[in-house]
Structure 1
Amino acid sequence: MASKGSPKLCPTSSMPNSSSKCKPPPPPPPPPTTTTTTTTSSRTKAHHDRPVEENLEVKIRKIAFSDVVVKRKNRAYWVRKWRLWDLTISIGVMVHVHVMCFLYAYSTFSLSRFLVGLCIVIITGLFGISVSYHRNLAHRAFNLPKWLEYLFAYCGILSFQGHPILWVSMHRLHHQFTDEDRDPHSPTEGFWFSHMNWIFDIKYILQKRGGVNNVRDLEKQFFYRFLQKTNYIHPFLPAIPLLWWGGFPMLVWGLYVRTALAFHLTFLVNSACHIWGYQAWNTGDLSKNNWLVALLTFGEGWHNNHHAFEFSARHGHEWWQFDPGWYVIKLLELVGLATHVKVPSETQKQRMVALNKKART
């Protein structure tokens, strides 16, 4: 006989007169499930100084008004270890430039200062980035005499977008791994990542690059090695004549406002032209033709055309596709300064059309 304090024992199922009150308790309910997908990051510790076996939430969503799917791992931007390069670029340049524009652009505006800033944007953006860094150095779409090649490249370094070796290396990597994991600035990691946040984490970008050296042609030349070593000096040199000519108000528009404008125009090619627009060619990536970006970036917005024929000096294939970068190159060719200018032939275009039709079937 069980004592008063002992637990009550239920009869076994073989006993016919067992009480219903002694039925065994139901099994515990299964643990609740969630729709959150988790993955284990193998590079988390190396990249963010956190434990390797950490579950990272993966968010899958689409960028607004597009079919671009973002698969982004939540990375701790605010608690990770920031490095000197990241702090220099993000705080020393990006934040400083935008704060100065916010504080002083309105109060110092005048038509003459605006036109000065616009002229410098054309010099650094059209001749420096579009014609030199992109079409001449990155893709070798045409040849220039060395004195003119170096002059245009120097215009590019004045844009605060880095020296030619770094810029060209990142761009060639982008074309080699377009919209894949090793693409330095794909919108598959989010709009803002592709637009500008990618430059705030240099170690992450260098991990994507790996040990590949894709700019040996530039590293062989003393001029580009010199710009690499003195990169932080050259972009600030225009401040001297600007201050002498028009004082602080001219500096605001000739340095800060035009730099912020040039930043975002270039960034739009990396972000918007892989999100919004149309594809004239089936390139197997997210590149788009975007007429508005093309209008603002000297023809760089015909980005799907460019990815279809990346060797081409001409991005606007149709007569109505505004492409000032091509107009400059064509003029240089007419006067004998640009040689070996590459454009897609009709045969190459027809071959691409055939591939497009085959892909649709």
Structure 2
Amino acid sequence: MAILIFMLVLWYTGLFFQSFFLHRYAAHQTFTMSNFTEKACFFLTWVCQGSNYLSAYGYGVMHRMHHAFVDTEKDPHSPKYDNNMFSMMWRTKNIYQDINNERILLDSKFTKNTPQWKSFDAFASSNFSRIAWGLGYTVFFYFFASVWWHWLFLPVAFFMAPIHGVIINWFGHIIGYTNFKVDNTSKNLLPIDFLMMGESYHNNHHKHSGRANFGGVRWHEIDPTYYIMLVLDKLRIIKLKKSAVRVK
């Protein structure tokens, strides 16, 4: 039971900070926060993603490129230009690392106001940090895995963020339904997004990328991350932009 609880916590906390901090804040800036809160989010993203830590700068810039070049050869991740999900994610990894390590020239529209904490990213993205987290996961499994099949979850823990990415960036452009006609292959993967905390409403998001609420087009499209954001806004931890909550 401890292993299953651990995997659920790892899945949803890591996913929340990917959706809330990396996606809706770093990439789309649907809300603002204080400098202290931003730094806290960097730290909490590292704690919750662990060995899968993604930089707000690297993720934010790459995701803006995805929207600008969706389903073209310049798209960092598109099923149209890769034979399988593994080759797509390998290419995505290489592009992400080039962006995060500033090895390529980028248009200012992709980098403008993207949060960056170089010293922390260098530590959190280091081999030392990733290996330490991986060893920590392994030790936890050693003490709490009570049946052999629990160990099957360990590779999932190691690669949680890439798994989240492939669900949306591969399957979210192949299967599902659409609410809007857009000039790309984005789909809404799940009618009720219990798995990806709103991220699976991909067609909605590509139609209105500046909206904080990825769901809400149909009655059953509930976006859990958005409702958490509403609470944080009421508590004045973040401030949602009016343009991001306006219904179009």
Q: TM-score range by the shorter chain?
A: 0.7 to 0.9
CA distance 1:229–1:260, change in 2 (3 Å): closer
Greater length-normalized contact order (CA 8 Å, ≥ 6 residues apart): 2
User: In structure 1, what is the equivalent of residue 106 of structure 2?
Assistant: 212
User: In structure 1, what is the equivalent of residue 224 of structure 2?
Assistant: 324
Aligned residues: 230
- Conserved in 2, the CA contact under 8 Å of 1:239 and 1:255? no
Deviation at 1:152, TM superposition (A): 2.3
Partners in 2 of 1:262 and 1:201 — Cα distance? 15
Question: 2:7 aligns to what SS in structure 1?
Answer: helix
- Conserved in 1, the CA contact under 8 Å of 2:212 and 2:244? yes
Question: 1:291 aligns to what SS in structure 2?
Answer: coil
User: In structure 2, what is the equivalent of residue 177 of structure 1?
Assistant: 69
CA distance 1:298–1:189, change in 2 (3 Å): same
Q: One-letter code of the match for 1:325?
A: T
User: In structure 2, what is the equivalent of residue 113 of structure 1?
Assistant: 3
Alignment partner for residue 58 of structure 2, among 147, 154, 166?
Answer: 166
Query: Are 1:298 and 2:197 an aligned pair?
Result: yes
Q: Within 5 A, what are the aligned runs for 1:327-338?
A: 327-338=227-238
Q: One-letter code of the match for 1:139?
A: H
Give 5+ residue unaligned stretches, structure 2.
Answer: 146-150
Partners in 2 of 1:155 and 1:293 — Cα distance? 27
Question: 1:151 aligns to what SS in structure 2?
Answer: helix
Alignment partner for residue 125 of structure 1, among 15, 18, 21?
Answer: 15
- Conserved in 2, the CA contact under 8 Å of 1:123 and 1:155? no
- Conserved in 1, the CA contact under 8 Å of 2:193 and 2:222? yes
Give 5+ residue unaligned stretches, structure 1.
Answer: 1-110, 350-361
Deviation at 1:201, TM superposition (A): 4.8
User: In structure 1, what is the equivalent of residue 212 of structure 2?
Assistant: 313
**Per-residue CA distance 1:200-247 (angstroms, 9 max, x = gap):** 6559987xx96214224246x5xx111332211444454576677x46
Partners in 1 of 2:133 and 2:6 — Cα distance? 12
CA distance 1:298–1:205, change in 2 (3 Å): same
| Higher helix residue share | 2
Percent identical pairs in the alignment equals 23
TM-score, with normalisation over the residues of structure 2? 0.78
TM-score, with normalisation over the residues of structure 1? 0.55
Q: One-letter code of the match for 1:320?
A: H
- Conserved in 2, the CA contact under 8 Å of 1:312 and 1:343? yes
Alignment partner for residue 274 of structure 1, among 148, 173, 182?
Answer: 173
- Conserved in 2, the CA contact under 8 Å of 1:118 and 1:258? no
